[in-house]
């Protein structure tokens, strides 16, 4: 990776923990407002769906719990791999990696994209997909690719943040990292979200 792009893909190598923590916390709070305004619920750590009656408390709880579940599990894994791992470094990685995901939700709220998504939803509901215009299909394909790019970028940030915090070097560390993300998704989706959705 060139020096120019390193801070973009691995800001954890360069920036001090305070700057990362402030940026991460501000972006988390902005994402709470965005999710609440857009009425989008985090029904999985990496899954979002519409929820018309989402409250601000609900949005805040989801954002905090999602971050804490991933952060705590990764920190526990980090401590096992390297006892010198600090919770602040893992939490910073968890907070910062959610920024691209938040930007993704923001992009989906752009009026012309929202309108295309609504058209597709209506067409699916009425089982008349053939009525969709070429432009709508192209837009939805491009938006899907863009969302995929945001998701990949988020995971790259989390991997790099974890690697820097833990000094992970072996393949087994990355396999355990992937396993922890799956466990976090399961814990959140099956145990925590059903409790949070009542808020």
Partner 1 sequence: MKLPIYCPSCENPLKVSQLKCDSCNTQVNGNYELPLYLKLSREEQDFIMEFFLASGSIKEMSKQAGISYPTMRNKMDDMIEKIKKMTSNV
The site for partner 1 (CB under 8 A) is made up of 12-17, 84, 86, 89, 164-165, 167
Alpha carbon separation from 18 to 70, 104, 131, 155 (Å, rounded) = 20, 25, 52, 22
The token pair at 161 is 């943040």
Nearest distance in Å: CB 165, partner 1? 5
Do 97 and 67 contact (CB within 8 A), yes or no?
no
Nearest distance in Å: CB 10, partner 1? 9
Residue among 14 and 114 whose Cβ is closer to partner 1? 14
Nearest distance in Å: CB 159, partner 1? 14
Nearest distance in Å: CB 178, partner 1? 21
What H or E segment, with its residue span, contains residue 182?
Answer: helix 171-186
Residue among 172 and 186 whose Cβ is closer to partner 1? 172
Nearest distance in Å: CB 89, partner 1? 5
Residue among 56 and 172 whose Cβ is closer to partner 1? 172
Angstrom distance (rounded) from CA 167 to CA 17: 16
Residue among 119 and 160 whose Cβ is closer to partner 1? 160
The DSSP annotation for 127-189 comes to T-GGGS-HHHHHHHHHHHHHHHHHHHHHHHHHHHHHHHHHT--SHHHHHHHHHHHHHHHHIII
Residue among 7 and 50 whose Cβ is closer to partner 1? 7
């Amino acid at each position: 990776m060139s020096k120019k792009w390193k801070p973009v893909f691995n800001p954890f190598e360069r920036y001090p923990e305070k700057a990362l923590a402030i940026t991460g916390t501000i972006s988390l709070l902005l994402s709470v407002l965005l999710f609440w305004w857009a009425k989008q619920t985090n029904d999985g750590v990496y899954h979002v769906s519409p929820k018309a009656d989402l409250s601000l408390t609900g949005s805040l709880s989801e954002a905090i719990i999602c971050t804490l579940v991933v952060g705590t599990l990764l920190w526990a894994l980090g401590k096992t791999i390297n006892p010198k791992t600090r919770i602040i470094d893992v939490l910073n990685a968890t907070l910062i990696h959610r920024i691209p995901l938040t930007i993704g939700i923001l992009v989906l709220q752009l009026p012309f994209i929202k309108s295309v998504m609504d058209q597709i939803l209506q067409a699916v509901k009425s089982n008349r997909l053939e009525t969709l215009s070429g432009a709508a299909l192209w837009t939805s394909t491009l938006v899907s690719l863009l969302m995929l790019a945001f998701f990949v970028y988020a995971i790259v940030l989390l991997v790099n943040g974890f690697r820097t915090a833990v000094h992970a070097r072996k393949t087994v560390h990355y396999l355990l990292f992937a396993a922890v993300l799956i466990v976090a998704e399961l814990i959140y989706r099956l145990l925590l979200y059903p409790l949070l959705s009542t808020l």
